[in-house]
Structure 1
């Protein structure tokens, strides 16, 4: 199991994740894709990454907008896995011409 990050560690690492914010024991962001197919391509790209990490996000898809929630359930909060997955989601969003907003 991954170790829980301290509040200071989370705050420091969030500075490197524009568009992400902390909401309780989770990281959240909204990704606005250029169109619906691009939104699905982002979700598909992240699904592959998440499967490789064995760390799966909560995703809500509404037309071209996807909402993401990351937490490490078995650790009871935020771990480095959440930070790493947020970086990968951000990269997938950029690759498909999407913008992030918290």
Structure 2
């Protein structure tokens, strides 16, 4: 069964309840973390491992003292589905162990 795109309202409701601090424009969910540069590189590698285990990938951008995550489903034309939300939950669970502090 193919995943179905969530509406902007559904996404906002889920983020508010389960992933506060994550944002959406209706086509992707995003979060930026403050993190030391080398720790950020390790966090990005951890995110890559999570993505490979989950079989779903996002964009992770390593900056100087930041890591930015952007998640959407390319198979849905760049919209958000429940598996995108689950990937965000897994990334969020890993963040603290790397010393990543959400930028809100």
Same fold (TM over 0.5): yes
Match of 2:102 in 1: 100
The count of residues paired between Structure 1 and Structure 2 equals: 101
CA distance, structure 1, for counterparts of residue 73 and residue 103 of structure 2: 22
Match of 2:58 in 1: 57
Match of 1:8 in 2: 9
Alignment of 1:44 onto 2:45: yes
Match of 1:32 in 2: 34
Give secondary structure in 1 for the equivalent of 2:40. helix
Give secondary structure in 1 for the equivalent of 2:31. strand
Match of 1:89 in 2: 91
Deviation at 1:96, TM superposition (A): 1.2
CA distance, structure 2, for counterparts of residue 13 and residue 44 of structure 1: 26
CA distance, structure 1, for counterparts of residue 50 and residue 74 of structure 2: 18
CA distance, structure 2, for counterparts of residue 32 and residue 92 of structure 1: 14
1:18–1:100 Cα contact (<8 Å) kept? no
What TM-score, normalized by structure 1, do the two folds share? 0.88
Higher RCO structure (Cα 8 Å, ≥6 apart): 1
Deviation at 1:55, TM superposition (A): 1.0
Which aligned segments of 4 or more residues in structure 1 are displaced greater than 6 angstroms?
none
What TM-score, normalized by structure 2, do the two folds share? 0.87
Q: Which runs of 5+ in 2 are unaligned?
A: none
